[in-house]
Amino acid sequence: MSVETHEAVHRHEPPKGFIRKYIFSLDHKVIGIQYIMLALAAVVVGMLMSLLMRLNLSWPGTNWPILGTLFPTGAPGGVMNPEFYLSLVTMHGTMMVFFVLTTAPQGGFGNYFLPIQIGAEDMAFPVLNMMSFWITFVGFVVLLSAIIFAGGWTPSTATVGPIGGWTGYAPLSALGQIAGPGQGMGMNLWIISIAIFCVGSLLGALNFITTLLNMRTRGMSLMRMPLTCWAWFTTAVLALLSFPVLLGGGILLLLDRLAGTSFFIPGGLYVNGLLSGVDARFPLHTGGSPILWQHLFWFFGHPEVYIAILPGMGATSHILATFARKPVFGYRAMVFAIFAIGLLGFFVWGHHMFISGMSPYSAVAFSILTLSIGVPSAVKTFNWLGTLWGARIRFTTPMLFALGFVSLFVAGGISGLLLGQSSLDLPLHDTYIVLGHFHLVMGVASIFGMFAATYFWFPKMFGRFMSESLGKVHFWITFVGVYCIFIPMHVMGLVGMPRRYSSFGEYEFLKSLHPLVLFVSIAAIITIAVQFVFYFNLFWSIFRGKKANDNPWEATTLEWNTTSPPPHDNFAGVIPTVYRGPYEFAVPGAPNDFMMQTDSGAEVTSGNGGNGHKH
């Protein structure tokens, strides 16, 4: 396309050796792909765990011979026991939240595309970038080892890790082996894994922020950045400020477990037949505050859900504008909405703790702040709709997933308005409605954002398209599937079905829900199965996909100025100069229906802003 032709003498050649090129690479693009591969591996583990949970819930007491062989103590005779189920709950959550929803959107796509979109040749600190990935990878390995060494240093088959949930609530998480199977060495490894993950994420966040502030190319003012960059930047700020809190909490928790302090363990505890300070297996603890852990955890935990979803929002805005062939409606409002969501995200952690016995006054304050997040969220939603309004939409697979993101974000967000009110949360807390809510809005919506990003940027990353027909099969079955899985959960929650229970056989009032439970499981099995179509499409297309040119979607931002895939230094030594905003589609008087950020074309008026736009 219309690259400014400065002299191309400043090329940097990629390193030659295999290890420096693909393993310990300093190239942000390779590191981005490494992150994506890590997420692709972790998501399979997390997904298989959710499959096992569904099997146990729908067909309780059924003998699954393979499980009996793999986990003779966790699933004796092939029937999963409750502790095994709880460990699946815990590890599914941990795997998905940390190693999928935090790595792929930010570490993966952010790493790959942030430097290119701002016209930089790499991240500000390439060595830190490499370290951040490999530290995260070590965290992943330690988490896997928590699955294997749940009981001690000998491989255990009783559980697949700790059983306390991904929130690791004290005091059970602070007590050690006496709190249950998997809570011994498994829990230690879990905490260490999370602490390692924190360090990796912090290095990444540091790099993102510095890169964005310091490395933008000529003409790339803040308000000319693609919304993806704003989203990654805000996400990095959230990670930078929230992960240290989790790290601090994790250190306190580890000290309680290993050094015998009492930060989170209250006195006089009686656990599994043991009284604190009486039995040698349960040393004396006094005066700790379990609620303190909840505060520290959720101060991190709430921003974490925005860490998961903001990059999806950025990608969605980016992709909607591209395939609607229209500027993003209200670009500035979108930027401020991202910031507002990020900022408010730090003041609402208490809404996870309404039943912790907090003062009703603080509950009201947390409630009001929580509901006020609805305002920037609505700004974003209406601006997405405004972008689509009257557009001649190109229904490609990435566009379908971006539209799916909007749909899921709204559908999942609505129940947030219920759960955010302390009076309504008291009865609904820890029921399936919470499960339905957060899976739709932070789980599936974020993943849809990443699917959209994958289909959209795949041609740039590998120079080939992913198969559109397989992509559409993947989209429609997944889209219908996730609604079939998570909408019924809202109904179950309203009836009063509690989360994290391995079976409901003893509860008469839940018996009538069993057909719904079965329906959800069948939908889940189908949805999981179709994900392998995606995997096949992904790996098949890397080698066999239809060839793509440099700008196959006729998009405007800098990544489409370079070759597909981009060279080692992104622009082959030619630093691009930016003359205009990121989403200049259908500019009046322009020769094409899109103007790239590098098009100087001074005679054409700027088309961004979105209002009063003609078609």
Partner 1 sequence: MAAMVTSTKTVTKKTVGSGGKLSGPNGNGSKRRDGFLEPDPRANRYRIGMWVALASILMMFTALSSAYVVRAASSNDWVPLTMPRVLLLSTALILISSITMAAARRKLRAGLESAYKQFLLATALLGFGFLFSQLFAWKQLTRQGVFLTSNPHSSFFYLLTATHGLHLLGGLLALLFLLARTGWQTEKASGIATRQAAADAVTIYWHFMDALWIYLFLLLFLWR
Residues that bind partner 1 (CB under 8 A): 10, 12, 26-27, 120-128, 202, 205-207, 209-210, 213-222, 240-245, 247-249, 251-252, 255, 259-263, 266-267, 286-289, 292, 295-296, 299, 568-569, 573, 575, 577
Q: How far is the CB of 202 from partner 1 (least distance, A)?
A: 5
Tell me whether residue 64 or residue 264 sits nearer to partner 1 (CB atom).
264
Structure tokens at 383: 């601006």
Residue with tokens 């008469």: 508
In this complex, which beta carbon is closest to partner 1, that of residue 205 or of residue 379?
205
Residue 171 or 182 with smaller CB distance to partner 1: 171
Q: β-strands 584-585, 274-275: how paired?
A: unpaired
Closest contact distance (angstroms) between CB of 331 and partner 1 is: 17
Among all chains, which residue has been given the structure tokens 């190239």? 27
Question: In this structure, are residues 595 and 584 in contact, taking their beta carbons and an 8 Å threshold?
Answer: yes
CB of 37 to partner 1, least distance (A): 21
SS3 (DSSP) at 137:
helix
- What Å distances lie between residue 237 and 247, 316, 346, 574, CA to CA? 16, 20, 11, 30
Residue 580 beta carbon to partner 1: minimum distance, rounded to whole angstroms: 14
Q: How far apart are CA 464 and CA 225, in angstroms?
A: 26
User: 60 vs 219, which CB is nearer to partner 1?
Assistant: 219
CB 586 within 8 A of CB 566: no
- Compute CA distances 370 → 17, 97, 330, 375, 421, whole Å: 51, 21, 24, 10, 8
Report the alpha-carbon angle 530-531-536, nearest 5.
100
Take residue 302 and report the two structure tokens written for it.
């709430």
The answer to whether the beta carbons of residues 607 and 613 sit under 8 Å apart is yes
Nearest distance, CB of residue 118 and partner 1, angstroms: 9
Nearest Cα to Cα of residue 548 among 534, 560, 530, 533? 560
Give 569 or 584: the residue with its C-beta nearer to partner 1.
569
Give the nearest distance from C-beta 77 to partner 1 in angstroms. Answer: 44
Of residues 252 and 402, the one with the C-beta less far from partner 1: 252
Q: Which residue lies nearer to partner 1 by CB, 296 or 434?
A: 296
Q: How far is the CB of 211 from partner 1 (least distance, A)?
A: 8
138: nearest Cα among 235, 89, 85, 203: 203
Kindly tell me which of 286 and 606 has the beta carbon lying closer to partner 1: 286
CA distance 537 to 465: 10
Give the β-pairing of 270-271 and 594-595. unpaired
Q: Which two tokens stand for residue 175?
A: 């007590």
Residue 332 CB, nearest approach to partner 1 (Å): 17
| Contact yes or no for 89/500 (Cβ under 8 A) | yes
CB of 243 to partner 1, least distance (A): 7
Residue placing its CB nearer to partner 1 in the complex, 285 or 474: 285
Contact 351, 144 (CB under 8 A): no
Reading the block at residue 43, the tokens are 């998501």
Q: Considering the complex, what minimum distance in angstroms separates the CB of residue 615 from partner 1?
A: 32
When the beta carbons of 258 and 275 are compared against partner 1, the nearer one is: 258
Whether the Cβ atoms of residue 105 and residue 449 lie closer than 8 Å to each other? yes
